[in-house]
Chain A
């Protein structure tokens, strides 16, 4: 079956630091990969996605590249802000699972001024 493993948190960084949150996956098909962000007390929002190997998703300064050879989709940002403090979820979906997504356990990021 499908699974997503992401870096355990919590992660605490100072403002303007470089961020990496690791994500690796296993899938039976050819999945699309997603990063979602959840701010306190809210639902999840799509941050970025990539639908095939070597695609790079980017949004709001965040980037992630779909690496089929390493089955990874690591999230990066060059300079984090306090407003980036949230929980980040890596997820995948493929056509073998009736539209369902498989989520990682989430990584809590706290950025301090």
Chain B
């Protein structure tokens, strides 16, 4: 099955820093990737759908200028948290749907990035 690599796994940085998280699909080309945010002891909150070669689709309430998504190739999507502040501290997870828009296929998740803003 598909393997998704997410990097880095843990980031600690000062307030005001911009942080880039990478999500790579290792086994197949992914036209669509998803970015989630997860707070402690809570479910996944879909932030945006990353679309290869076009703009990301953001969920309601997610600031697109704050969370920049770039999907320049079929195997890589990046999420940049710009000018991060302590309230941005969270666990960020990416996923790839192996079957593109095929609802019968599961999503394959990266191992997540723990972001801590001091």
Q: Give me the interface of A with B, judged by CB distance under 8 Å.
A: 29, 31-32, 34, 36, 41-46, 49, 51, 89, 93-95, 97-101, 103-106, 108
Contacts and interface: CB of A to CB of B under 8 A. Distances in A.
A99 B100 contact: yes
Contacts of B46: 100
B75 interface: no
Given A32-B103, A97-B103, 11 more contacts: A29-B103, A42-B111, A43-B95, A44-B109, A51-B104, A89-B43, A98-B49, A100-B34, A100-B46, A105-B43, A108-B41
Which of B107, B108, B111 has the most chain A CB atoms closer than 10 A to its own CB? B107
B32 A99 contact: yes
Contacts, number: 59
Interface of B: 4, 6, 32, 34, 41-44, 46, 49, 93, 95, 97, 100-104, 106-112, 114
Which of A29, A44, A45, A98 counts the most B-chain CB atoms under 10 A from its CB? A44
Contacts of A42: 111-112
A9 B108 CA distance: 25
A105 B40 CA distance: 12
A48 B6 CA distance: 23
Contacts of B6: 43
A93 B99 CA distance: 12
Give me the 10 closest cross-chain CB pairs, A-B, nearest first.
Answer: A43-B109, A93-B103, A46-B106, A99-B101, A105-B43, A44-B109, A43-B111, A43-B112, A51-B104, A99-B97
A101 to B, nearest CB: 6
Nearest to B93: A43
A31 B110 CA distance: 24
B63 to A, nearest CB: 19
A111 to B, nearest CB: 18
B31 to A, nearest CB: 10
Nearest to B43: A105
23 contacts: A32-B104, A36-B109, A41-B112, A41-B114, A42-B111, A43-B109, A43-B110, A43-B111, A43-B112, A44-B44, A44-B109, A45-B109, A89-B44, A97-B103, A99-B32, A99-B49, A99-B97, A99-B101, A99-B102, A99-B103, A101-B107, A106-B42, A108-B41
